[in-house]
Each structure stands twice: as C-alpha cells, then as structure tokens.
A and B are shown apart, each in its own frame.
Chain A
Amino acid sequence: MDSGPAKRRKLDHSQDGAEKALESAVSTGGVSRSRAFILEAEELLEEVRIDYKTAFEGADQLLHKIKGSIEAIKAQEPLPILEAATKFEKKSKIKIPFPDPQPPKNSNYKVAFAKPAQFNVVGSYVSKTMLKTQKDHSVDMIVVLPQEILQEKDYLDLRYFYKRAYYLAVVANALQKEFGSDGQLSYEYLNGNPLCPVLAIQPKAPEATGKESKGCLQYRIRVIPCAPEGFFPKRKLHLGASLVRRGRDSESETPAHPTAFYNSTVSAEGSFMSYLKLLRQTEKKCAAFKKACILGRTWLQQRGFGGDISKGGFGHFEWSVLLALLLQGGQKMGHAALSTSLSATQLFKAQIQFLSVMNFSEKACVLGTESADLEEYIESGPILYDFARGLNVAFKMGHWSAALLHQHAKWTRNLMSDSSADQFTSTFILRADLPSHTFDLFAHLNYSDVLDEVIGNDYSESRGRVWQLGSKVYRVLNRALGDKELGERARVIHIQTPEQPGWALSEKPKDQSRAALEVGVLFDPANMSRVVDKGPSAGATAEEKEECDRFRRFWGDKAELRRFERDTIRETLVWKSTTPFEICEEIMRYILALHLRIGHLEDDISFYGNGLVDLLSIKPADTTLYNVARKEFSTFERDIRNLDDLPLRVRQIAPVCPELRHASVKPPVFGSLKSGPQPMDCIISFEASGKWPESIAAIQRTKIAFLLMIGNLLENSKQGVKTHVGLEDAHFETENLAFLDVIYESGPAFRLRIHSDLEESLLERQVKDKTLEQYLRQRATTQLAAFRRLYTNLPLHSQMINTSITRFPALGPTIRLVKHWFNSHKLSWHFSEEFVELVVLHVFLCPYPWDAPSSPSTGFMRVLLFLSRWDWRSEALIVDSNGELTGSDRMAIATRLEAWRKIDPNMNHTVLFVATAQETSGTAWTAVGGEARPGKVVAMRMTGLAKAAGRVMREGGLGLDPRRLFVPGLREYDVLIHLNSKVVKSCLKTYGHIDPSEGSAGREGARFKNLDVVTGEEMLPLARHPGDVLMEQLERVYGGPLVFFRGGAEEDCVIGAIWNPGVGRRTFRTGMGGSYKPVKQRKGEGEEEEEKVEVELNKEGMVAEMARLGGDLVEKIEMK
C-alpha cells in the first residue's frame, strides 16, 4: 500500500512537525488516495456503534435467568418419539416444531430430556459487532444437547433434528411458564433453515416497564439447541453423502442423491463452539478484525445479504469466518493470506478483492488445505470449505446468491480502483438491493399449481420445496439466458425465495407455498437484443450430433435447423420480439413453461420493469431513425463542401442538436405536414482567414452576407433545396444575427450558423480591456460565454454524447426518458438539454455501487436516485467520459465551485455546477447571460421532485404504475395558463406570402382545395417553436415577479407560474419590474395614526395582461 515511508523519512528529517503529521497519516492507512475513505469509514464505525450497556440493558440478567430455568427442568425418561410428542402436545398446548417430513409413524427411537451439557452465548452479541441500523438485534444463546439423549446414528434421516425439536419444545414449555408474562415467546428458523427451529424470547418493550428507552434496543434472545462438538463423525457428513434415505424407499435401487445441505447443517450443528473459538482467537490476534467485520456487515446489509437463506445465506457470520480463515496460517505455502497488522479498511478491501476473484458457485473454494478436491459437489451448491472444521461455510447460499455476491464484490472492487468516485457513500451508505435499481427485468412466478407436479413429495432438499423450485427455475434460466456458447444474455439472474417469519408456539409454521417466487435479471445489453440464437452446427460426427441432441432436448420445438453464410447449418432459435426486455420475457415464458410448466396461464408470471419504456414507446426502430438523420446530415455536409465558389474553405460542419446525437425525446421524423420544418442545428467553421473584419459587429454582418451567399449557391447547385436566411432574436449588433435554414424537399432541414474564430479573440480582448466601460465589459463577458457555449462546447459535447451512445447502448433511451421526466414536471424550460444529458452520462460513467445501467428503466431510476442525492450546494458534477481529468484537475474544479459559493453565497449567478474534461468552467450548461439557469428555486424543485419520486417508488414497490412518476403537480403553481392546443398547432404553420393577420377568412371561403392559396404553398421553417417564443416573451416581460414553468416545446399546453416570494409589499419607486397597485397602510395607533401608501403586486391586473397578450392562444387562466 504505502510506497516506503522509510524513503520519505530520509528526505525531510529537517521537518519534525511535518514528519509527525505524515506518520499520523501513515498510521491511519498511508498517504494514499483513499485517505478520505479511511477517515469516512472510521466515522461510520463510530456512527453505527452500539453502546451495549444501555442498548442491551438487562440482557445478561435475562440470559442467566433463562439458563437457570432450563437447568431446573426435570429430566425425562426416554419415550418413543410419537408417544412422547402426543403426550407433550396434549399437556402443554405447545406444538413441537418437527421439520418436514414429520417423523414416520413406525419410528421406534426414543426421545428424552436431560440437563444441557453446556450453555454459551455466541454470535455478534459477544463479539460486539452489531450495527445500530440492522433490522433486528438478537442475542444468541446455544444450549448443547447432552450426549446421553443422542445416538451416533442420529445424523441419519433427520433423527437428530426430531430429537432437537422435541428438546426445544420442552425448553419452550418451561420458559413459557417462567417468562410468558413479561416476554413474547415464538419459534423461528435459525437463518431460515427449516431443519433448525429455535426459540425467540422478546422481552416486553421497555416503555411498558416504564424504563428509560433512550438508546435501548428492541432485542430478543434466541435459544438455539445444538449438538455436542464432534459428536457426529465428520467423515460421514461429507458433501457427497446421502443421509436422508427415507421418503425414497420405493425406488431404493437408484443411487441416492447426496444431501449436501442436510449434511452441512448437521456439521454446523456441532461446530458452534469451534467457530466461536476461532473468532475469539482472531479478535485477539488482529486488532482491526472486529472493525473489518462491522464494515463487512454494513456492506452486506446495504446489498441485501444476510445469513438467512432467503437473504442469500451469506451474512455477518460467514463474512467474519472467511476473514478469520484468511488471517490464519495454513494457506498456500503455509502463509496466511492476510497480515494481522492490516487496518480495518485494508482488511475490508482485501476481503472484497477475494470475493471478487472467487466465485463460490463456479469453483469450490477450500481454505486450510490444498489437497481437498470438492469440484464434483459444486453442482449441489456454492462451496466455501473450511477444511479444519470440516464445514462448507457457504452451505446456505444458492448458486444465484453466490453469483450475485461475486458480482457485487466485483462492482465494489471497480469502485475502489476509481479514485474519482465517491467511494465511501457507494460502498456503505447507498442501498444497493432495490430491485428496480438493480435488475432490468423482474418477474413474479406464481407456482402454487405446479409445485406438487414439479417437486412432488421429494424431501431430499431440506431447504423446502419452494427453495427447490427456485433452484430449478434458476438452473433452467441460467442455461437459457446465460449460455456462453450462444453468448450470455444475462449477467445476473437472481432468485428471491420468500422469507419465513416466526410463528407462535402453539401453531405450525406458516405455509410459504403461496408467496411468490421473484426472479431478477440483469441484462448484458449487447447480447440481450439478439433475435437469432445460433446453436451448435449440425454435423455428421457423433460429437456434433450429441451437441445438437442436447440443444434440442433443452429448447424443445423452438430449435430449428437453418442455413447460414458459408453453408453452415446450425440449430437455431428465432425469437419474435424486438426489444431486449420483450425478448427476455419471451424466452422466460417459453422455457419455464417447457421445463417447469410455469406460465401456461398468462398471469402465472408477471413481468415488471418495462413500464417506463412503454410509456415513451421507445423502440429499437428509433435507432434507425436517428441513423437516418445522421445520414441526411452527411449528405448535407457533402453538399456544402461541394460548393465551389465559396471564398473560404470549409473546415468543419458540426452537428449540435439532440436529434443528431440520439438524445431527443422523440426521434427525428421528416416530411410531416403538420408543422413547418424544424431545422436541426449545425455549426460551420472555415479555415483561418485574415479577411474577417476587425469589428464584432462587422463580423456579424459579414456572416449574414456569407449565409446569403451559401444559400444562393446551394439553391443553384442542388435540385429540391430551399434556403431561408433567418434573423435571431438578438438584442445587440455584436451578437450572432442570423442563421441559414436549408430545407430539402425530401424532408430534412438544417440550420447553419457560422463560426468565426476572430470573434472570440475580439471578445476576449474586450473582456480583458480595463479601459472599457464596465457595462460593455460585462456584456462582452456574457457574449463570450454564449459564443463558447455555441461554437466550442456544443460541438464537443455532441461528439462526446455520440461516442458514449455507442459505448452504452442504454444511454440514449435513458436520456430520452429523463428528458421526458423533466418535461412532464415542467422543468425543461429551465434546464438545458445538454445538462440533462451530462447528468445521465454521469450515472453511466459512475454507476457505483452497480455497473453501468443496461436498460433504460434502471438507468432512469438511478438518475432519479442521483438527482435526489446530489448536494449541488457543495458538490460539483464532474463528467469525464474518457478519464482525461487528473486528480489535480478535479481539485481545481472543486476549488472553483468553492470560490463561486464564497463570492455568491445566495447563488444568484451560479447554482448547478457541471464540469467536463473539455469544459472546466462548470457553468456552460447551467448559466445563460450571466444568470443561473436553472435558478436556485428551480434546482431545489428538481431535487424535491426527484426525492418525491424515490419515495413513490419505494412505497409503490414493483407493481408501481410508472406513469405516476410523470404526473405533474399542477396544484403547486399560483397561476396556470392553459393554452389552446389547436391554436398552438396552427402557429406551427406559417407561409411566406400569406399574412396571418388576414386571418383564416380567405381560406374558409375557398371551397375547393385546389383553389386554396395555402395548398401548394411552401411552409416557412420554424425560427423557434412558438411555445418557446411565448415563454421567452413572458419571461422577458414578467421576469421579476413571476417564475414560469413549462415542459417540452411539443405538447405541453399548460404553463405554470409561481409568484416570486421575494416581491411583497413595498414602498413605491419607478422601475420596480412588475405591475403594482397602491395600498393604504395604517401605521401607529390612535392620534399618531399616519397613513402611508405602499404598493403591492397587482396580481389580477397582471394575469389580465397575460390574457390579453396571449389572445386566442390562451384558453383560460387559473389563479390561486
């Protein structure tokens, strides 16, 4: 980690103080990039620490009392199990929690009760590694069954577990009598393992007893019966043994299935004490061990992992055991894998590294020896084998949870190597187990009809039938979607089995076969959209034949032979759907129905995750439309370059509009007659020339002349091209004054603006010129910013987005979804499209704690998550698509933001700060004309809306109708201007030779279409969308007192407005900006009463004005 502190010491022995500081730095983990991470982790440890004295007040006494009462139970003579059970249940009204299958009728072995051999408190209560934030806190007390009531053979056929259950029931009965009044007793499964019921005692809430509840946790005590250490012979319990032979008596000829899970459970039953010893020893040896365990626990918890089988079977215990084993000697070459002198964060990182390299479900991981070969058992489940204690620590994991754990570890490792990201928050703070954020597709399987059919009465899998079904589903899906030969369609397939809650002593455990099985799939975006799967080629050799046979067996009738290029004939699957989501759905429905008969009925499987995409009807065909636009653009570029008579050579024509970078909400469609052409913006720049006049105004005029010339030349040289020079809405002669619209008869239209580099240097000179008047310099500054934005940054930005689109297939659709969201909430008027694109790109570049989103819906969800968490007051958004920014660059950007906040603490000029590698000033996309755009109020609204959306998503769960995220809250606006959509649409059509003020009277008169003047007349292009023009005018006129909101230019027909809260009653002066009415204000009392006239906003008057200027455009105006 540290590159030799000794060397450093040699260099600066003169500086004592510095050396001390350095040493302190080294002691906290070295002067490295991860300093902040270490400090933050320390802080986290402090924050989640529990004060055990207050939190578990009374726990120790309670434990002693429990021990006492158990010891006081009278011993019972051995009785045949069934007889004893009936007798006991009748007498005590307590059910004995026998695991399934229930003990057979003919069993004649006997159960008895004797004083436990040993009591002990184990788990994280003794090691003090609990978290404040974990869901429930429990104190585990093991009760070791005395040897005299067990037999060595008991490991067979669940006999031990029946005896254990009986023992537990007897203990429960005794404790019920003792504690029934001041505590709640219930059964639950230890880690969701149906073989091991335990007794949970929940002391009455501290409030009830009238105690101080501050810092006191709602803990419970679990009484866990277990086997004496080493009682069952280890060699009989190896992973391949088949120990449950009953239930398959009829077909005893077939070789018995190995019962790996059962065997491991039996082993685990006898190894509580040895693991307790192992952990205590490691704690003593390695100072940072506990802290590393707490960090690990936090990491696992935020990813939804836990010791419970339904939570993946990898929890705190497994984490600490693995870490302890890694810290122990006896690894390869006799060395320990990790040094005990490492710090907590280093241990944590090392463990993550280990998990990211080892995938327990693919390769058996054996610790403690090199000789053991367990590869053959990997089929039955992930293997993390502790050789010394002979236990597969990962026995509770399913293949899917091991794969997911591996994936999470890989993501976290990537995060750890990315120094620019916020490592701490993504590692420990964010929840990474929300299905809508994690998986591209989520399905609920309703299996209750098929459970008996598929699984039958097979009890060889002790985790229950639902789990067994889940594992079958996983196997089928993994083969179908994760076939490496075909190209893996899914990166992760996850199965969520239902959790088993605790149950009352007098009842049976609740039946879980009604709860749905949940399947999550994370796509590989490159492969999931594949429509044709090419299987093995149909050759003549036996090998090939077998391949094909296997393929056909798995895929059934779907497999067909097809001929491909170079005369290869292959087994092929052809899917009908087009989008990745639909293909995945089709495959899942088909293959699950084929192999497991799930999904014959449509509602047996319900799929979630596509709602957002449907909402915007994003289709794969859209990509083609964007590509068509790009192609048209290259035609246009060629046409311009082919003009011979241009006085300067064209250097570049750069597209600068969202349509030409796959990022517009709607894909570009040409040749619609509903509106005038809406040209796509481009920038043309010429070779350097000294001919430009040395005056900005003259340059602008020259540009007009240039545009006129280009237009003329184009019209003359190309058939079917129309050009119009249009005027910008410029306020000064020094701004860009005009653009050229080029309209092709076939539909596409382009807007050209000329870039002159001299303009920039002239503006720069004005900005620097100290002799110039202040207002002129100010104006030059804003003009320079506008210039750079349009001519320098926009082309680069377009290029960057275009390359990123090819890098991340889901980026384009995500941008479109997010823009749609901004539109729906009427925010888009305030946010530049480029800003939105950069935010989305950031989420793809810094996707931690996940990988880059592979579908638009996860992308969208994570963008909302980012927006809701982005603290823009103190954090700059830095988007670095090619990794060009160095650490010091980033520091410089952060410093710039800090400086802005110091100069402008009220955030009038700079609010959001977004920097890229090309544009480090940070305000190119978030400020216009020296003003922050969006302003603070609007930015806060964005954050608020994103937070609200997050809440809705969490509450609504998976079944949430995504449309709910896009419903604007109109009630929040003070004024609502409803536009007449028909009139707005009519504004989209203007004609060169018809004066609109003459109205439609003439047109209505024309009875025959062919006599109508409008028919055949070319529509003028839209200089700007009329909706935008109206907004601009409203904002110019009422910029002070009102803030206006409107969604996208296209459909949104409701303009919302909010009165500026800062504009209240005030004394009168001229030029206040806004219409005011006089109000009499009484001041003072009695005789001294003095009338003072003040003014306040004439709100109704202003609304009436808006109605007047809107004219027929405005249907109605509502006012709060």
Chain B
Amino acid sequence: MPSTPSTLGDFTVLPISIPPLPSFPKSTTHYLYLRRNTPKIPTPNDSRSLFLTNCPVDSTDLHLRSLFASLVGPGRFESATFEDERKDTAHKLSPLDAAVPVNAVHLLRAHGSTKKRKREEEEDADKSREDEAARLPSTWTRPLRRSGSTAVVLLADEKSVEQVLKACAKLPKTKKYPEWGAGDVASKVPALGSVWLKQHNRLCYPDPATLQQAVDAFSAVFARREKEAAEIAKRLRNEPDEDGFVTVTRGGRNAPASRSEAEEARKKMIERAEKKRQEMEGLYRFQLREKQKEEQEELLKRFEDDRKKLEAMRMKRGKFVPEA
C-alpha cells in the first residue's frame, strides 16, 4: 500500500489500526480526519477543541479518550460531543419545546414575540431541569454513530491541540498507528452484539412508574403553557398590533375558539356551497349542451391519448409480438 498522505485539505489524517476479530480475521486501518474547531458561531472553547470527521460507528467518549491518551498521554482529554447529539440541541428536540399548544405557537408567531422574558438564565436552568424530567427513557445502552459522522473533542488546553496535531503528523513516518479500543476500553463501555440487542429490548419496556412520571411532568408543563397561551390570546383580543389593528378572534368571553372548530365550520360552509352548486347543475338546457360537448371532447382526447400510448408502446419493441 502506498504511503498515506498526512493531510487532506486542512484536515490532518489520523490512521488508527483496527485489531482483527474472529468474525473478520484481518487487521485493517481506519482513517480519522481532524482539524481545529472553527464553527460558524464561535464559542469560548473553540481554541481548545478539535473537529473530527469520519468517526468509527462504535465511537464512545471512552474510545476517544483512550485514543488521545495514546497520542499525547493521559489527562488531556476532557469530553467529546458527537454529531447526532449536537443536532439534538440544534433542532430543539426537547420535549418541552414540543409541549407548546399549537394555537399559542400560531398566535406568538403572528404577533411577534410579545412574551416578556424575565430572568432568562434562571428560566434556562429551570427548563433543562424540567426537560430532563419530561424526557422519556432512552432505549439504547450505546448509540451507534452514522458512518462518516463528525464529533467535537474538547481538550484540556490549547497546547494539547497543538500536540495532538503534531503527533498525528508524525504517525505516517513511524507507522505506529494507535490501536482502536486499546486497553480496557472494551470492558468499560456497554457491549455491542447480542447483549446490546437484548438490552435494547429490555429498555423498550421501561418501568411504568418512570413512564408515568415523565408523562406527568410533561403534562404539567403543557398545562401551564396552555394557560399562558390562553392569556396571550385573551390579551391579543384587546391589544392593537404594530399597525394598529386589533385581531378579532372567535369564541366566547373567556377563551377563543379552538382552531379545529373553526376549520370544521369552514368545511361545512364549503360543503353547503358544493351542494348548492350541484343542485343547480343540469337545470338549463345550455348546461346540458355544454356538458355533452365536454364529454365529447373528453372522448376525443382519450382517443388521442390512446393513440399516443400506442406510439409509445411501438417504441418499446416486442410489445405486439405474441410470446413464443
């Protein structure tokens, strides 16, 4: 095999040797690509973090910790955040965010964020606590990473970053690639294979009490939000918006009508109109005549269509020859 390049664009190549397994008795090499982390929205920790791509699918915190320890010695590795975990936060998958009543979302969006944000930090902390309580238990002991996915590794300091990159640059010369899952990593992380699948099945059936708690926590938050939304709606009825218009909402004195009710009313109206239209059909002679004309045109069109289809079939030869 020709020597592997040590860099790939602005990435440094980190080859990792993979020990053979009984089911695939062949030692192979995996290539990890890393560079300094430079996200579009900078964070204070950027200088001491590394951006990794092409992570092995069975990567865990521990795996990476042992990998970096073998490169630059222990104690430099702080934590790793994997792509799917980051996406979770980016896409706001917390159950609490989902727990906003639809009409509230709608109203808020229509009216700009009128909600006064008090004590934001305090609220954030509250939120993460509630979030945790409402979250359903995970069904996996160890999630797999998508093949070729990325991760951000936080190291102890800037110097460690330098050292890691340097160590990687040296590797192609020495050919002494670090080993994946070296040491006692395997025994520390949850096992894959059959145990992993069994655990999954087991975790799919959580304790009913836990489940009930999560549901309760969620409903509590949801009820609060709903109340808030109702208040906003009520307020909106009387408050003019930027242009000076007052939103007129349907409903009684206490609460606006739910959207589904409004939709149903609309449906009914359309139905009524449709019925009326149907009754009127075929009443006059000119209508009948037009209808017949239309039918005839339709027939002609279909005739043409058939001919076209036939042309198309003729293109595909063999359609018209009886099978032997």
Interface residues of A (CB under 8 A from B): 8, 11-12, 18, 21-22, 25, 31, 35-36, 39-40, 43-44, 46-48, 131-133, 298, 301-302, 428-431, 676, 690, 693-698, 701-702, 704-705, 708, 711, 724-727, 729, 732-734, 737-738, 741, 758, 761-762, 765, 771, 874, 891, 983-984, 986-987, 990-992, 995-997, 999, 1020-1024, 1026, 1029-1030, 1033, 1036-1041, 1068, 1070-1078, 1080, 1093, 1095, 1098, 1100-1117
Closest CB in chain B relative to A419 CB, distance in Å: 12
Q: Is the CB of A726 within 8 A of B204?
A: yes
Q: Is the CB of B53 within 8 A of A1071?
A: yes
Closest A residue, CB atoms, query B105: A695
In the bound complex, how far is the Cα of B196 from the Cα of A363, in angstroms?
A: 74
Q: Is the CB of A694 within 8 A of B102?
A: yes
Q: Give the chain B neighbours of A1098 by CB distance below 8 A.
A: 28-31
Q: Is the CB of A1033 within 8 A of B144?
A: yes
- Given contacts A694-B258, A1076-B148, whether A431 and B323 have CB atoms under 8 Å apart is yes
Q: Can you spell out 9 A-B residue pairs with CB atoms less than 8 angstroms apart?
A: A25-B300, A695-B222, A891-B302, A1071-B53, A1071-B148, A1075-B31, A1103-B28, A1107-B21, A1111-B191
Q: Is the CB of B215 within 8 A of A1111?
A: no
Q: Give the chain A neighbours of B307 by CB distance below 8 A.
A: 39
- Given contacts A133-B324, A758-B260, A1068-B11, whether A987 and B310 have CB atoms under 8 Å apart is no
Q: Is the CB of B322 within 8 A of A48?
A: yes
In the bound complex, how far is the Cα of B32 from the Cα of A1101, in angstroms?
A: 11
Q: Give the chain A neighbours of B194 by CB distance below 8 A.
A: 983-984, 986-987, 996, 1026, 1111-1113
Q: Give the chain A neighbours of B195 by CB distance below 8 A.
A: 996-997, 999, 1111-1112
Q: Is the CB of B147 within 8 A of A1022?
A: no
In the bound complex, how far is the Cα of B23 from the Cα of A1112, in angstroms?
A: 9
Interface-side segment among B206-214, B232-240, B268-276? B206-214
Q: Give the chain A neighbours of B33 by CB distance below 8 A.
A: 1068
How many A-B residue pairs lie within 8 Å, measured between CB atoms?
303
Q: Give the chain A neighbours of B81 by CB distance below 8 A.
A: none
Question: Does B166 lie at the interface of the complex (its beta carbon under 8 Å from any beta carbon of A)?
Answer: no
Having A11-B293, A701-B222, A1117-B23, one finds 20 other A-B pairs with CB under 8 Å, namely A22-B300, A36-B310, A48-B322, A429-B319, A695-B99, A727-B203, A733-B95, A987-B201, A996-B195, A997-B141, A1023-B200, A1024-B201, A1072-B148, A1080-B5, A1101-B30, A1102-B147, A1104-B30, A1108-B58, A1111-B191, A1114-B193
Q: Give the chain A neighbours of B21 by CB distance below 8 A.
A: 1104, 1107-1108
User: Which of A725, A986, A997, A1078 meets B211, CB within 8 Å?
Assistant: A725
In the bound complex, how far is the Cα of B20 from the Cα of A1023, in angstroms?
A: 33
Closest CB in chain B relative to A545 CB, distance in Å: 55
Q: Give the chain B neighbours of A725 by CB distance below 8 A.
A: 205-206, 208, 211
Interface residues of B (CB under 8 A from A): 2, 4-5, 7-9, 11, 13, 18, 20-24, 26, 28-31, 33, 53-54, 56-58, 93, 95, 98-103, 109, 136-137, 139, 141, 144-150, 190-206, 208, 211-212, 215, 218-219, 222, 226, 258-260, 263, 289, 292-293, 296-297, 299-300, 302-303, 306-307, 309-310, 312-314, 319-324
Closest A residue, CB atoms, query B306: A36
Closest B residue, CB atoms, query A888: B298
In the bound complex, how far is the Cα of B196 from the Cα of A1098, in angstroms?
A: 25
Q: Give the chain A neighbours of B5 by CB distance below 8 A.
A: 1078, 1080, 1093
Q: Is the CB of A1075 within 8 A of B222?
A: no
- Given contacts A39-B310, A429-B322, A1030-B197, whether A1105 and B56 have CB atoms under 8 Å apart is yes
Closest CB in chain A relative to B67 CB, distance in Å: 15
- Given contacts A40-B320, A1076-B31, A1113-B197, whether A1100 and B101 have CB atoms under 8 Å apart is no
In the bound complex, how far is the Cα of B4 from the Cα of A1073, in angstroms?
A: 21
Closest B residue, CB atoms, query A698: B222
Among A431, A727, A732: residue with most chain B CB under 10 A:
A727
Q: Give the chain B neighbours of A47 by CB distance below 8 A.
A: 320-321
In the bound complex, how far is the Cα of B215 from the Cα of A44, in angstroms?
A: 68
User: Which of A984, A999, A1023, A1037 meets B205, CB within 8 Å?
Assistant: A1023
In the bound complex, how far is the Cα of B95 from the Cα of A771, in angstroms?
A: 22
Q: Give the chain B neighbours of A429 by CB distance below 8 A.
A: 319-323
Q: Is the CB of A1108 within 8 A of B322?
A: no
User: Which of B2, B56, B109, B197 meets A987, CB within 8 Å?
Assistant: B197
Closest CB in chain A relative to B94 CB, distance in Å: 8
Q: Give the chain A neighbours of B319 by CB distance below 8 A.
A: 429
In the bound complex, how far is the Cα of B102 from the Cα of A696, in angstroms?
A: 8
Q: Give the chain A neighbours of B198 by CB distance below 8 A.
A: 986-987, 990, 996, 1026
Closest CB in chain B relative to A505 CB, distance in Å: 31
Q: Is the CB of A1117 within 8 A of B24?
A: yes
In the bound complex, how far is the Cα of B9 from the Cα of A1070, in angstroms?
A: 11
Q: Is the CB of A727 within 8 A of B144?
A: no
Q: Give the chain B neighbours of A1024 by CB distance below 8 A.
A: 201
User: Which of B54, B146, B322 meets A131, CB within 8 Å?
Assistant: B322
Q: Is the CB of B297 within 8 A of A18?
A: yes
Closest CB in chain B relative to A763 CB, distance in Å: 11
In the bound complex, how far is the Cα of B258 from the Cα of A984, in angstroms?
A: 51
Q: Is the CB of B136 within 8 A of A737?
A: yes
User: Which of A690, A694, A1104 meets B101, CB within 8 Å?
Assistant: A694
Q: Is the CB of B296 within 8 A of A1073?
A: no
Q: Give the chain A neighbours of B18 by CB distance below 8 A.
A: 1101, 1104, 1108
In the bound complex, how far is the Cα of B319 from the Cα of A428, in angstroms?
A: 10
Q: Give the chain B neighbours of A761 by CB distance below 8 A.
A: 260, 263
Closest B residue, CB atoms, query A1108: B58
- Given contacts A983-B194, A1078-B8, whether A693 and B212 have CB atoms under 8 Å apart is no
Q: Is the CB of A698 within 8 A of B58?
A: no
- Given contacts A301-B322, A1110-B193, A1116-B24, whether A21 and B202 have CB atoms under 8 Å apart is no
- Given contacts A732-B93, A733-B93, A987-B198, whether A1078 and B31 have CB atoms under 8 Å apart is yes
Q: Is the CB of B2 within 8 A of A1077?
A: no
Closest CB in chain A relative to B232 CB, distance in Å: 14
Q: Give the chain B neighbours of A1040 by CB distance below 8 A.
A: 147-148
In the bound complex, how far is the Cα of B322 from the Cα of A48, in angstroms?
A: 8
User: Which of B57, B109, B205 meets A726, CB within 8 Å?
Assistant: B205
